């Protein structure tokens, strides 16, 4: 089947037409998606409104094992079931499909997503892609913004490239949630112990990329404040307005991003008024389907 691919931003990001995730994933489809992802790092597959959670899970698994949402100690009986257990529920809806209340933990987590981040860099397994499918979108606001950290790496001066290349960074969920305004989260350190990640990675295209974002807490071997200043500068330089692709959601958009060479953030919308129902499959590079965090 011929796929049509159009670039959406001068630096990266593309949309693809002609891909139907309800169909079995052929080698041709897999190669077309892998190639487009290696080139553009963010890929919007249009017109997937007919896809069920099962279709999304099956399509995602064609590209790698899934990172499963943590059940946070909930039993089978009390775990929410609105969304397939292998998908992350990125909505403002409760178990019964009603709008969420202010001040729930979910709301506070959603606020944390408004900082540029890369999904699950606080997990020990390398996260490959996220695939977010829009079922219900908001009339205004609620865009998701992306930046390409290969371009951010390319834009560094030669001496800065030399400085960052050998560095390692501690990524921590506790750190990013506190920065996002959530207090008293040191409990996360037990469920999601901080992990060490390289600051520079080679992406699928062969281009080097910065591995940064809100979970990046401290630089190994550097004074804490100096490491923080370096990370803040890398993140703010990477997210200058002209570098941002802002995705305005249409129902049925399946947006795939490479977590190893992009950052993204949620933007505000009328959380208490407008329904928004997006669901995310998250793919690891290797291994089996597995809960991201290690058990408490």
- In the complex, which residues of this chain contact ligand OGA (CB under 6 A)? 90, 113, 119, 130, 132, 144, 264, 266, 278, 280
119: contact with Mn ion by CB under 5 A: yes
Binding piece for Mn ion, criterion CB under 5 A, among 29-37, 117-125, 138-146, 234-242: 117-125
Mark 140-177 as b/e (b = at least 16 C-beta within 10 Å): eebbbbbbbbbbbbeebeeeeeeebeebebbbbbbbbb
Closest distance of CB 89 from ligand OGA, Å: 10
Q: Point out which residues pair with 237 in neighbouring strands.
A: none
Rounded Cα distance, 257 and 38, in Å = 10
Binding piece for Mn ion, criterion CB under 5 A, among 60-68, 97-105, 116-124, 241-249: 116-124
Rounded Cα distance, 187 and 196, in Å = 19
- Give the residue with the Cβ less far from ligand OGA, 119 or 253: 119
Closest distance of CB 218 from ligand OGA, Å: 22
| Residue 171 DSSP SS3 | strand
Torsion angles phi and psi, residue 31, rounded to 5: -65, -40
Q: Point out which residues pair with 51 in neighbouring strands.
A: none
Sign of the C-alpha dihedral computed for residues 173, 175, 178 and 179 taken in this order: negative
Question: Which of 12, 15, 123, 234 lies closest to 3, judged by CA?
Answer: 15
Separate counts of helices (H) and strands (E) for the chain: 8, 17
- Which residue's beta carbon is nearest to the bound ligand OGA? 266
- Give the residue with the Cβ less far from Mn ion, 117 or 156: 117
Applying CB under 5 A, what is the total number of residues that bind Mn ion?
A: 1
Give the DSSP H or E segment for 6: strand 4-7
* From Mn ion, ligand OGA, none, interface partner of 36 (C-beta below 5 to 8 A by class): none
Taking the chain, what is the end-to-end CA distance rounded to the nearest angstrom? 46
Closest distance of CB 215 from ligand OGA, Å: 12
Closest distance of CB 147 from ligand OGA, Å: 13
- Which residue's beta carbon is nearest to the bound Mn ion? 119
User: Which x/- pattern, by CB under 5 A, does the window 76-115 give for Mn ion?
Assistant: ----------------------------------------
- Give the residue with the Cβ less far from ligand OGA, 29 or 89: 89
Question: Which of 100, 116, 74 lies closest to 291, judged by CA?
Answer: 74
- Give the residue with the Cβ less far from ligand OGA, 200 or 263: 263
- Give the residue with the Cβ less far from ligand OGA, 113 or 239: 113
The residues of the shown chain that bind Mn ion, judged by CB under 5 A, are 119
């Amino acid at each position: 089947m011929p796929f049509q691919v159009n670039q959406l931003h001068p630096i990266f990001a593309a949309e693809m037409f002609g891909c139907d995730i309800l169909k079995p994933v052929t080698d041709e489809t897999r190669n077309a998606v892998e190639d487009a992802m290696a080139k553009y790092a963010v890929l919007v597959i249009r017109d997937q409104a007919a896809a069920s959670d099962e279709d999304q899970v099956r399509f995602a698994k064609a590209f790698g094992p899934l990172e499963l949402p943590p059940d946070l100690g909930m039993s089978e009986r009390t775990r929410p079931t609105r969304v397939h257990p292998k998908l992350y529920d990125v909505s403002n809806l409760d178990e019964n499909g009603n709008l969420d209340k202010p001040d729930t933990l979910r709301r506070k987590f959603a606020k944390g997503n408004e900082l540029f981040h890369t999904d699950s860099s606080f997990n020990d397994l390398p996260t490959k892609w996220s695939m977010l499918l829009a079922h219900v979108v908001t009339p205004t606001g609620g865009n998701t913004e992306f930046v390409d950290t290969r371009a951010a790496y390319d834009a560094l001066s030669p001496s800065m490239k030399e400085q960052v290349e050998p560095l390692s960074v501690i990524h921590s969920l506790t750190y990013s949630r506190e920065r996002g305004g959530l207090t008293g989260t040191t409990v996360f350190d037990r469920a999601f112990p901080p992990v060490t990640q390289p600051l520079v990675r080679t992406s699928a295209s062969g281009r080097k990329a910065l591995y940064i974002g809100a979970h990046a807490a401290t630089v190994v071997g550097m004074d804490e404040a100096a490491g923080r200043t370096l990370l803040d500068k890398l993140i703010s330089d990477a997210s200058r307005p002209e570098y941002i692709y802002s995705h305005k959601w249409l129902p049925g958009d399946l947006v795939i991003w490479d977590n190893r060479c992009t950052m993204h953030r949620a933007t505000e919308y009328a959380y208490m008024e407008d329904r928004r129902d997006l669901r995310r499959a998250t793919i690891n590079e290797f291994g089996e389907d597995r809960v991201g965090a290690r058990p408490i």
